[in-house]
Chain A
Amino acid sequence: MHETVDQHMLESILGRNNELAHHNREHFNELGLVAINIMSAPGAGKTTLLEKTLSSLSTDYDCSVIEGDMIGDLDAKRLQKYIPAVHQITTGKSCHLDAQMIARLLHAQKFGGTDYLFIENVGNLVCPAEFPLGEHKRVVLLSVTEGDDKPLKYPVIFHNCDVVVFTKCDLLPYVTFNMVKAKDSIQNLNPKAQCFELSVLNDTGVDNWLNWIKGMRS
C-alpha cells in the first residue's frame, strides 16, 4: 500500500453554500430586488413583524416572501392574507435554510418586478448563522421575553448581522429585560449593528423599522 499525505490543501467546508449564496446575490441584483434574511429563536415574532410589514409596504412596493419552516405552512398561510407571492420551503429535519434551497426556488419561480424579498428563516439562533443565503441584509429579532443575555449566549449570529430588532416591547413592564445591557452586549459584539425597539401589538416603533426598509430603495 502507498500513503499519500496532502498537507497543503485549503478547502472551505461550506464553500459550496457560499458559492451558491454569491450566485443568489447575483440573481437578486439582476432582478433589482432587496433581499432580507430574518432570523430569530422560535416565536420571537418574525411572522408577526412580517404581517405588519407587508400590510404597510405592499400598497407601494411589490413584496415576496420565502417562508422557511421545518414542518407545515402555517406561517405562509398567515402571510398570504397580505400578498400572493409567498413561497414555502419546508426543510424537514434541517434547522436552517441554506443557499441551495433559495437557489432552487429562484430558478423555479418568477421574481421579476419584486422590490423586496423577505426570507423568514427557521426559528433558531444557532444554525442559520452558519449559512449565508446571498441576502443583502441580515436581521436578527430578539424578543424581550427571551432575556437580555441572549447576545452573549449566541454571539455568532449577533456578530454577523446588520440589524437587531427588539420585539414585544409592550411586555417590557412585565419582564426583567435590561435594554441597556442587551444593547451594550450587541455593540460589543458588532459595533455596526443598528437596533430597533418595537411592538407590533401596540404599534410602537414599527415606523422606524419600515423607514429603514424603505431607505434601502430610495
Chain B
Amino acid sequence: MHEATIAQSILQILSEKLLQICPSGQIVKARLLIGEFRNIDVDSLSFSFDTLKKFHLGISSCNLEFETIPTEAVCQKENHIYHPTFENTFLCEQCQSGIGKIIRGEELDLVGTTILSSSMENDQHA
C-alpha cells in the first residue's frame, strides 16, 4: 500500500524540520490535513507511521493528528457547490449534474507540529 510511502514522506519532512529548528528536540505531535477525495486510508497511514517512526531519532514518540477535509465541488451544470460522495454517485443534489471542479478535499498536507526541547536550544531559534 502507498500509505507506507506517504508515512516515509512525513517522516522525512519531520526529520528535516527537526534538524532545522531543534536537532536535539523531540517532535511529539504532527497535524495532518487529509482530503476525502484522496486515496488515503488513515488507519493504514497511522499503522505505517507508527511502525516506521521507531527508526527515526527525535520522532519515535510522535503522534499523528488527522483532520479530514470533506470533498467540495462545483457542479457541471449550474455551478452549485456540493458534497460529492459515493452515496450520491458524485452528483449534485440540486441539478443532478456531476463534478465540474473539485475545490476542497484533495489536501494531503502537514500543517502543524509540537516540539519538546531543552529550553536553551529552543530559545535560540524561537
Contacts and interface: CB of A to CB of B under 8 A. Distances in A.
A94 B109 contact: no
A210 interface: no
Interface of A is mostly: mixed
Contacts of A4: 21-22, 25, 114-115, 117, 122, 126
B2 A12 contact: no
A160 to B, nearest CB: 9
A150 to B, nearest CB: 12
B32 A13 contact: yes
Interface residues of A, number: 39
A4 B115 CA distance: 5
B98 A189 contact: yes
B35 to A, nearest CB: 10
Interface in B28-44: 31-32, 37-40
Given A12-B110, A189-B99, 14 more contacts: A1-B119, A2-B119, A5-B113, A5-B115, A6-B113, A13-B32, A13-B108, A13-B109, A96-B2, A98-B5, A152-B86, A155-B86, A156-B37, A189-B98
* A-B CB proximity, top 3 nearest: A188-B98, A2-B119, A127-B2
Interface of A: 1-17, 93-96, 98, 126-127, 129-131, 152-153, 155-157, 159, 185, 187-191
